[in-house]
Amino acid sequence: MLKIGCCGFPVSYKKYVKEFPAVEVQQSFYRRLGERQVKNWRDAAPDDFEFVLKAPQCVTHPPNSPTYRRSHLDRDEVKNCGFFRLTDTVKREMEVFLERAEVLGAGLFLFQTPASFKPTNENIDRMERFFGFYRGAGTFAWEPRGADWTEEVVKEVCERLSLVHATDPFLELPQLFGDFTYFRMHGDLKSYRYDYSEEEIKKILSLARDEGYIFFNNSAMYKNAKQALNLLHFSS
Round to whole Å and give the CA distance between 154 and 134. 20
Encode the chain (236 residues) as per-residue pLDDT tens digits. 999 999 999 999 999 999 999 999 999 999 999 999 999 999 999 999 999 999 999 999 999 999 999 999 999 999 999 999 999 999 999 999 999 999 999 999 999 999 999 999 999 999 999 999 999 999 999 999 999 999 999 999 999 999 999 999 999 999 999 999 999 999 987 778 999 999 999 999 999 999 999 999 999 999 999 999 999 988 76
Q: What is the DSSP string of 210-231?
A: SSEEEEE-STTHHHHHHHHHHH
Count: domains in the chain: 1
CA-CA-CA-CA torsion sign (91, 97, 103, 109) = negative
**pTM for the full model?**
0.97
Nearest residue to 86 (alpha-carbon basis) of 117, 66, 63, 58: 58
Q: What is the CATH number of the domain that holds 214?
A: 3.20.20.410
Residue 191, pLDDT score: 79
Q: How many CA atoms lie within 13 A of 221 on its CB side?
A: 22
Residue 185, pLDDT score: 98
CB atoms within 10 A of CB 55: 22
Helices 88-104 + 35-44 axis angle, to 10: 30
Residue-range definition of the domain harbouring residue 141:
2-235
Residue 190, pLDDT score: 75
Round to whole Å and give the CA distance between 232 and 23. 17
